[in-house]
Amino acid sequence: MDISIDFMRRIADAAAAETLPRFRSQGAVANKEQGSFDPVTEADREAERVIRALISAEYPDHGILGEEHGSENMSSRHVWVIDPIDGTRAFISGLPVWGTLVGLTVDGDAVAGMMSQPFTGELFYANASGAHYEGPGGPRRLTTRKTTSLAEATLFTTTPALFKGDARLRYDLFERQVQLARYGTDCYAFA
C-alpha cells in the first residue's frame, strides 16, 4: 500500500493547526506518570485527535496506535502509529526541536512515515517512492551517508543518562568511536 505525500501533508497541516498556535503560549501541562515527569499538553491531545479523524475518514478499516488516545482496531493489517508531539519537553520549553511523527505499518512492517515541524516549515517523509524533504532550501530526496566507518558517523540519543551500569559503559565506549554525538534532538534524530 502506497500512502501519498498529499495525505501526509494533510496530516501535517491538521496537526500544525493544533500545535503551532499553542507553541510558546504557556499552556497548561499535565503529568502522565506518577513518580516521574512525562508531560502532555492540550496540543498533544488535540493534534492526535485531528490526525485520528483524518485517518479514520480516509482509511476506516485501519488500526490506530496513538500516544495520547490509545489504540483501536489493532487486529487490522494496517496500523497507524501517532506521536502528535515528539519532544513535548522541548515544546513546553519553547525549543523548536519537537515535531509530529506519524507512521504506517502493514503486518508489523513500517511502510510509510513522516515528521513535520511546522515552526521551521520542515516535512520529512518516506513512502514507496523513497525518502524526501520539503522545507527551507527546497525539496530534495534524502539518502543516508555513504560512510561505513563509525569514525565518520553521527550518533543521536536523548541523553546518555538513559543508560545504567554496564550499558552506560558500553554506550560511552561506543560514543568515543563516533565523530559527533548529539543529545536531546527529539524527532530530528529520526529524520
Segment 111-131 shows an average pLDDT of 96
| Cell matching residue 22 | 499553542
All domains of the chain, ordered by start, with CATH? 5-141 (3.30.540.10), 150-190 (no CATH)
Residue type, 147: T
Q: Would the pLDDT of 153 be above 80? A: yes
pLDDT at position 17 is 98
Who's near 43: CB < 8 A, 6+ residues apart? Answer: 18, 19, 22, 23, 27, 84, 85, 91
pLDDT higher than threshold 90 for residue 34: no
In whole angstroms, what is the distance from residue 146 CA to residue 144 CA?
A: 6
| Contact status, residue 110 vs residue 104, Cβ threshold 8 Å | yes
Q: Is the dihedral of CA 73, 11, 94, 140 positive or negative?
A: positive
Label the pairing between strands 154-157 and 180-183: parallel
> Which whole number is the average pLDDT over 43-60?
97
Residue 36: per-residue pLDDT = 85
Which residues face 72 on adjacent strands? 64
pLDDT band at 38; cut points 50, 70, 90: confident
HSE value, Cβ hemisphere, 13 Å, CA-based, for 77: 3
DSSP three-state, residue 10: helix
